[in-house]
Amino acid sequence: MMNPTELKKIKEWTPLPLIITIIMFLAPSFIIAPQNENLSVIENSFDGTLKSIRHSLAQKEKDKQTLERQTLLEADLKRLDRWLPTEKNLPTLIERFNSLASLLSVKISSVNYGFAKDNEGISPPSVNIHFNLMARYGAMREYIQALECLPYPILLTEVTANNDNNFTISLVNLVKP
């Protein structure tokens, strides 16, 4: 058995291990808690940065696609600009209409033209042309086919058959602005 003085000493020192145990138990939470707070702040910052990077990459891809589309549209616009005639070519075009008419036995009785009015700015600049013609039905069909084959941006909008082999043709000629 133990000596009573030793037992007394042990009893005196008993609270010390208990205090040391409590300190050892609570000390990590005092040290780790601020680290956990720092970790959560860093985590939130990292998540925000990651979202920003993802958004930037997505925007970069959209910008790349937009630039590619713009390049294609510019190329199309240049081709269209080379292809569209100017308004100055209108007399030449009407002369071509007259020469086709004489080749196909079609008599043009009147030609009216005017610039299209586009109040909203949606449609491209164009010239509206209206013909009054006299011809047989077969000659008229050949004339329409010949008009469609001309190397001009012509869109037939209306063909009307009147009495006694009279026809009215309305078309639109696209021009450069």
**In the chain, domain spans:** 1-83, 87-174
Cβ distance 144 to 167 under 8 Å? no
Which structure tokens are listed for 5? 């003085």
Which residues of the chain have a pLDDT value below 70?
A: 1-2, 13-14, 118-122, 177
Q: In this predicted structure, what is the pLDDT of residue 28? A: 72
Q: In this predicted structure, what is the pLDDT of residue 88? A: 80
CATH class of the domain at 87-174:
alpha beta
Which structure tokens are listed for 70? 């713009």
Cβ distance 101 to 108 under 8 Å? yes
Matching residue, tokens 């063909």: 159
Strands (E), 11-153: 107-115, 126-134
Work out the end-to-end distance of the chain between its first and last CA atoms, rounded to an integer number of angstroms.
117
Q: What is the pLDDT of residues 54-65, one digit of tens each?
A: 999 999 999 999
Share of the chain above pLDDT 70, in %: 93
